[in-house]
Amino acid sequence: MLPPLDEHNRPFWTGGGDGRLLISRCVSCERWVSPPAADCPDCGGELAPRAVSGRGTVFTYTVNHQPFNPAVPVPYVVAIVELEEQVGLRLAANIVDCEPDSVHIGLPVQVRFERQGQDAFVPVFMPRRA
């Protein structure tokens, strides 16, 4: 389920329509900020959406075997992915296109998007091919 879209998070949830993972970046100190916010938590500067590479590594993960939502087949992987643009820049996302048992901490991954509704594109990550 997506949160209500607002001026701060809309670019994150809609950027996938253009194949871009958009993360807020401070125009003053250049810190990447996730989740989207109104101002930079470091310097209070203005944030603007910027495209990132979409590459990262699995920081931690869990394999869910409980069918919380009947529309989502089990098992599935929920991970914290650290993006390569900045140490500590992390997103919670599903890992797809692989067996859940093959996921491990440090696994290199690449973003792709799954359309949800008319305008939203949920970022998910798949193992990066060498």
5 lies in some domain: no
* Contact of 24 with 38, CB cutoff 8 Å: no
61 lies in some domain: yes
pLDDT tens by residue, 100-123:
999 999 999 999 999 998 899 999
User: What span, in angstroms and rounded, lies between the C-alpha atoms of 112 and 124?
Assistant: 6
28 lies in some domain: yes
Give the C-alpha distances (Å, rounded to integers) separating 2 from 13, 19, 43, 118: 8, 18, 29, 12
- Whether the predicted pLDDT of 2 surpasses 90: no
Count up the domains in the chain and report the number.
Answer: 1
| Residue, of 70 and 15, whose pLDDT is higher | 15
Q: For residue 100, with 0-12 CB atoms within 10 Å meaning exposed, 13-18 middle and 19 or more buried, which class applies?
A: middle
User: What span, in angstroms and rounded, lies between the C-alpha atoms of 86 and 105?
Assistant: 18
What's the confidence (pLDDT) of residue 1? 74
Residue 72: give the domain boundaries. 10-127
What's the confidence (pLDDT) of residue 129? 87
2 lies in some domain: no
117 lies in some domain: yes
> The tokens of 52 are what?
């990132």
116 lies in some domain: yes
